[in-house]
Amino acid sequence: MVKVGVIGTGLIADLAHLPGYQAAGAEVVAVADIVEPRVQAMQKKYGVAKAFTHYQDLLALPEIQAVSVAVPNYLHAPIVLDALRAGKDVLVEKPMALNLAEALTMEAEAARLGRVLMVGFNSRFRADVVKLRRLIQAGELGDLYFASTGYLRRRGYPSGWFTVKAESGGGPVVDIGIHVMDFTRYLVGSPLPVSVVAQVQQKFGACAVEEGVWESSDVRDGLRDGRVFDVEDFATAWIRFDTGLVMTLETAWTANLARDRVYSNLLGTKAGAAIDSYHPIHKQRSTAAVETVEVFTEVEGMVADLAVPYHANASHTAEIRHFLAVVEGRETPIITPRDGVVMQAILDGIYASADSGKEVAITL
Ligand SMILES: NC(=O)c1ccc[n+]([C@@H]2O[C@H](COP(=O)([O-])OP(=O)(O)OC[C@H]3O[C@@H](n4cnc5c(N)ncnc54)[C@H](O)[C@@H]3O)[C@@H](O)[C@H]2O)c1
CATH superfamily of 124-318+344-361: Dihydrodipicolinate Reductase; domain 2 (3.30.360.10)
Q: How confident is the model at residue 283 (pLDDT cuts 50, 70, 90)?
A: low
pLDDT at 225 over 70: no
pLDDT at 92 over 60: yes
Length of the chain: 364
State the pLDDT at residue 222: 63
Q: How confident is the model at residue 339 (pLDDT cuts 50, 70, 90)?
A: very high
107: helix, coil or strand? helix
State the pLDDT at residue 160: 81
pLDDT tens string 50-74: 999 999 999 999 999 999 999 999 9
Q: Where in the chain is the domain with CATH 3.30.360.10?
A: 124-318+344-361
3-122: CATH number: 3.40.50.720
Instruction: For Cα atoms 286, 292, 294, give the angle at the middle one, nearest 5 degrees.
Output: 150
Q: What is d(CA 55, CA 63) in angstroms, rounded to the nearest whole number?
A: 15
| Mutation pick for ligand 1 pocket among 6, 31, 33, 344 (CB with most ligand atoms within 8 Å) | 33
pLDDT tens string 28-55: 999 999 999 999 999 999 999 999 999 9
Nearest-CA residue for atom 9 of ligand 1: 93
pLDDT at 240 over 70: yes
CB of 34 closer than 6 A to ligand 1? yes
Q: 8 C-alpha vs ligand 1 centroid, how far in Å?
A: 6
CB of 183 closer than 6 A to ligand 1? no
Q: How confident is the model at residue 300 (pLDDT cuts 50, 70, 90)?
A: very high
Query: Mean pLDDT highest for which of 131-135, 160-164, 213-217, 229-233?
Result: 131-135
Q: Where in the chain is the domain with CATH 3.40.50.720?
A: 3-122
Q: Which are the contacts of 6, defined by CB distance < 8 A and separation ≥ 6?
A: 13, 17, 18, 21, 28, 30, 31, 32, 42, 67, 68, 70
175: helix, coil or strand? helix
pLDDT at 286 over 60: no
pLDDT at 236 over 60: yes
State the pLDDT at residue 11: 93
| Mutation pick for ligand 1 pocket among 6, 7, 9, 12 (CB with most ligand atoms within 8 Å) | 12
Q: How confident is the model at residue 344 (pLDDT cuts 50, 70, 90)?
A: very high
Q: 76 C-alpha vs ligand 1 centroid, how far in Å?
A: 10
More confident residue, 259 or 87: 87
